[in-house]
Amino acid sequence: MKTKEIYFPSLENIKQAALNLKDVAYVTPLIQNQNLSKEFQSTILFKREDLQVVRSYKIRGAYNKISSLTSDEKQRGIVCASAGNHAQGVALSCKLLKIKGTIFMPLPTPNQKINQVKMFGEDFVDLVIEGDTFDDAFNAATLECNSKNKTFIHPFNDEKVIEGQATVGLEILNQTTEKIDYLFVAVGGGGLSSGLCGIFKELSPETKIIGVEPEGAPSMLISIKNKKNTALENIDSFVDGAAVKKVGDLNFAICQQRLHDMITVPEGKTCQTILDLYNKDAIVVEPAGALSISALDFFADEIKGKNVVCIVSGSNNDITRTAEIKERALLYANLKHYFIIKFPQRAGALKEFVAEILGPSDDITHFEYTKKSNRVNGSAVVGLELKSAKDLEPLIIKMKERNFFGVYLNDKPELFDFLV
């Protein structure tokens, strides 16, 4: 039985993609981050694709693919599905190449990304909001494509797209003369990671490429463990730029062979990275853009003294998500806690809880009286923000000693989601 040869993007095709993109995509800077370099005692470099023309690397693959279409294909128009960044790349490509496009996006897509798609595409694109996940939007786009004989511009499972994304790696290798020991890259469908695997295989095979997925959408990790491309039934779509149920077949085949390691990062950890980058470096990133940097803590010993590149893949963050980002970061750091508190039905009970049970630096961030369960106690859902995770245990002890403790909600996800 003949074994099917695995596609790898050739150096020639990647260089051609770079030429195609010369007057379209920016050559984004490769900059050392002083804070993280000091923290990890290594050289941490950011490849700033968040500064790209559409604020993510996706313009590279989209334009390289669409510009390669035949005249007949361009005349019939194109269709794509995207959680946001690919859509912006496709929209701008349609406008630049004067091609009509229909773009399908899932419902959870931040409004900021939807508005950007409209702005980049202008009259050349029609926008359709469909389904709860990227995969739902993808299925709707496929039906549109087949029924109207249009060309589908896949966000990752396409050779021209992969070769376009690979130009990120070509730029990195042209921007430094130092050996790159580690390269961290966010993985959604696998377009960027497979492109980087291709270019580094050719020009820097000793570089260890680490793929990073959100913990709630580990489609590449599961596929590599199963040794076959595996679709997930359910995912957490919070990291919208890297949350897919199934990676591309082309991308999986490349990453399975060439990734040095594949890990997941908790969404809360990613949120803390977003806040740190803003507060310490004045860098605004989206959740997927923070994934590569979030992974550094898990490789602290390995990367000490090494040259490390993190791809900052995008900055299309919706400011209205800031409260949720902070909440998830606090929950991950064990600083935000929710309880059902049983307040004795007597005068001064709330005052006692605040003055005698809470610590001087504990802050009530949520208070919702639910019902008077009986004549003795009345229940309330209470959210508390602590200054230190070590304050939790003594707080619970005091609640129990004074008969205020009801239920700790953080470790009861179904009840937590229902009540909070």
- For 292-345, what is each residue's pLDDT tens digit? 999 999 999 999 999 999 999 999 888 888 999 999 999 999 999 999 999 888
* pTM beyond 0.85: yes
Kindly state the average pLDDT of the residues 107-131.
90
Residues 6+ apart with CB under 8 A from 335: 385, 386, 387, 388, 389
Averaged pLDDT score across all residues of the chain: 93
Residue spans of the domains in the chain: they are 11-57+160-327, 60-156, 334-419
> Are 11-57+160-327 and 334-419 equal in CATH topology?
no
Residue with tokens 């199963």: 226
CA–CA gap between residue 233 and residue 241 (Å, rounded): 18
pLDDT single digits (tens) 150-186: 999 999 999 999 999 999 999 999 999 999 999 999 9
Statement: 11-57+160-327 belongs to CATH 3.40.50.1100: yes
CATH class of residue range 334-419: alpha beta
Helix, strand, coil percentages (3-state) for the chain, rounded to 5, are 50, 20, 35
The CA-based angle 300-304-309, given to 5 degrees, is 80
Which CATH number applies to 60-156: 3.40.50.1100, 3.30.70.260, 1.20.120.530, 3.60.10.10?
A: 3.40.50.1100
Task: Examine the pLDDT at 2 and tell me if it is beyond 60.
Answer: no
Are the C-beta atoms of 289 and 186 separated by less than 8 Å? yes
Residue 372: band (very low, low, confident or very high) from pLDDT cuts 50, 70, 90:
low
pLDDT single digits (tens) 172-231: 999 999 999 999 999 999 999 999 999 999 999 999 999 999 999 999 999 999 999 999
